[in-house]
Amino acid sequence: MQDVYDYYFRLSKKSGYNTYDYLPPQSEKVKYPFVYIGNLEEIPSQTKTNLTGSVVLNIDCWGTPKQRLIISEMVERFFYASIGRVNTENYHFYGNAQQQSKRMQLDTSVPNSTLMRGMVTIELQIL
């Protein structure tokens, strides 16, 4: 559901975050913090007349360890934006607090670097 992806991409940009639809490689010098709007999964279910089911989106917020508070605030913004009714251009969704998750961790996957990574998994029910 591209609508959900676009909704959160626009939300990130409107919030003033450097936002990418890909994880920038190490050779591409990017400014921290930044947001990577990641994987999107649709779990469809259908009745005779309606498309139902859910959509799951992963959002990663990346920064330096000194930016932990900023990364935490970014994660919170996406988390709370996913609770309640979410209306996109073509669909209506509902996010229950219990279906959203967030996590903060130090990441050492980039050689010679330690980064702070905030992860949000958003699950929205199609209405």
Please report the pLDDT score of residue 111 as a whole number.
Answer: 84
User: Average pLDDT of 6-15?
Assistant: 98
DSSP per-residue string spanning 96-126: -GGG-EEEEEEE--STT--EEEEEEEEEEEE
Six-digit token pair at 8? 């959160």
Domains, the chain, with CATH or none: 2-126 (3.30.2000.30)
Taking residues 33-38, what's their average pLDDT?
97
pLDDT tens for 72-119 read: 999 999 999 999 999 999 999 999 999 999 999 999 988 888 999 999
pTM score, whole prediction: 0.91
Q: Which residue has the tokens 């959509």?
A: 55
